[in-house]
């Protein structure tokens, strides 16, 4: 009897996201992938090892810390380089998502997105890499925090917009998007109106007449932090006022839009440097 071949080591996971048209993967594999293509854009981080692959620009090599990118319909393959395996994480975006990032929130500009090409199959860009890592971390947080999915979705969307903005600005054939409008006070008022229901970045961008990336940059320039962080800080201020007026910690957390008391405690401590309990005791002591 012929001995059975041991299959190459291969582990993989697929992740959802807060939006249609965006999903992620995590793969640790020794497999040699044959030539294939995807209908989506792909951007990923090679976390460990190295790989060699075909691309629309010829054979390319990528190493740990490099970013890897593919265009819709671009034929590519992949095999380990210099070791038995490699590990990478990807986010895949439908062309309509890229169109939305360029200012077409309806997704009707798919043709515009289809004309956009990522020009480097291997990218070395520290800022983009850090932003992509933050997106992955926020997507992980969104999946594990069902009670706070509204505000976590806004955080994910901010990171996705920043990733796409940096990618399109520096590593694609996309033309610069002309900025119009942009009254950031309207966005701030929308965030403050309902601390329980975080708006989407799509909604905020549409209010300002900007692309999502432009709205994100302009808001941060005007108020020092992006919309997600501003909303959390506003919730902490609301909780502080409620506790001073005698509300219990649990009631203050619920009334301020936090998923639970522990979430409030984390944000409260980050903003003020002390816990809600310490604030409650201090207020009770008459200061």
The predicted structure's pLDDT at residue 115: 82
pLDDT at 147: 57
Determine the pLDDT at residue 114.
54
Note the pLDDT of residue 7: 52
Contact 237, 276 (CB under 8 A): no
Beta bridge partners of 25: 14, 90
The rounded distance, in Å, linking the Cα atoms of 204 and 200 is 7
Pairing of strands 41-53, 33-36: unpaired
pLDDT the model gives residue 111:
44
For position 180, what pLDDT does the model report? 62
Phi and psi angles of residue 84, each rounded to the nearest 5 degrees, phi first: -75, -25
Query: How far is 287 from 284, CA to CA, in rounded Å?
Result: 8
User: What's the predicted TM-score (pTM) here?
Assistant: 0.83
Q: Sketch out the chain's domains with CATH numbers.
A: 10-160 (2.60.120.10), 178-277 (1.10.10.60)
Q: Which DSSP symbol is given to 176?
A: P
Q: Which residues pair with 172 in a beta bridge?
A: 118
pLDDT at 81: 97
Residue 184: DSSP 8-state: H
Token digits for 110? 């798919």
- Cα–Cα distance list, 57 to 49, 101, 113 (Å): 22, 25, 20
pLDDT at residue 110, rounded to an integer: 43
The rounded average pLDDT for each run of 10 residues, N- to C-terminus, in the chain (287 residues) is 62 92 96 95 97 95 98 96 96 92 52 75 97 95 72 89 94 78 86 89 90 90 92 94 94 92 92 93 69
């Amino acid at each position: 009897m012929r001995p059975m071949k041991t299959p190459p080591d291969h582990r993989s996971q697929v992740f959802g996201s807060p939006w249609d048209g965006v999903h992620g993967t995590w793969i640790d594999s020794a497999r040699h992938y044959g030539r294939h293509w995807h209908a989506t854009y792909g951007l990923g981080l090679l976390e460990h090892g190295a790989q060699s692959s075909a691309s629309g620009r010829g054979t390319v090599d990528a190493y740990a810390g490099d970013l890897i990118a593919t265009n819709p319909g671009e034929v590519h393959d992949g095999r380990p380089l210099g070791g038995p395996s490699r590990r990478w994480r990807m986010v895949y975006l439908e062309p309509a998502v890229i169109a939305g990032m360029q200012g077409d929130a309806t997704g009707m500009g798919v043709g515009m997105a289809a004309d956009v090409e990522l020009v480097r199959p291997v990218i070395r860009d520290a800022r983009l890499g850090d932003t992509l890592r933050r997106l992955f971390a926020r997507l992980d947080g969104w999946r594990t925090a069902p009670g706070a999915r509204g505000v976590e979705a806004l955080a994910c969307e901010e990171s996705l917009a920043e990733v796409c903005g940096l990618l399109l600005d520096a590593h694609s054939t996309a033309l610069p998007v002309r900025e119009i409008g942009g009254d950031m006070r309207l966005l701030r008022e929308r965030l403050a109106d309902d601390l329980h229901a975080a708006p989407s970045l799509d909604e905020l961008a549409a209010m300002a007449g900007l692309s999502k990336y432009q709205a994100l940059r302009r808001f941060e320039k005007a108020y020092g932090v992006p919309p997600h962080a501003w909303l959390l800080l506003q919730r902490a201020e609301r909780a502080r006022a409620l506790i001073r007026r005698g509300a219990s910690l649990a009631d203050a957390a619920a009334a301020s839009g936090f998923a639970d008391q522990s979430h409030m405690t984390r944000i409260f401590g980050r903003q003020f440097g002390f816990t809600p309990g310490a604030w409650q005791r201090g207020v009770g002591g008459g200061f």
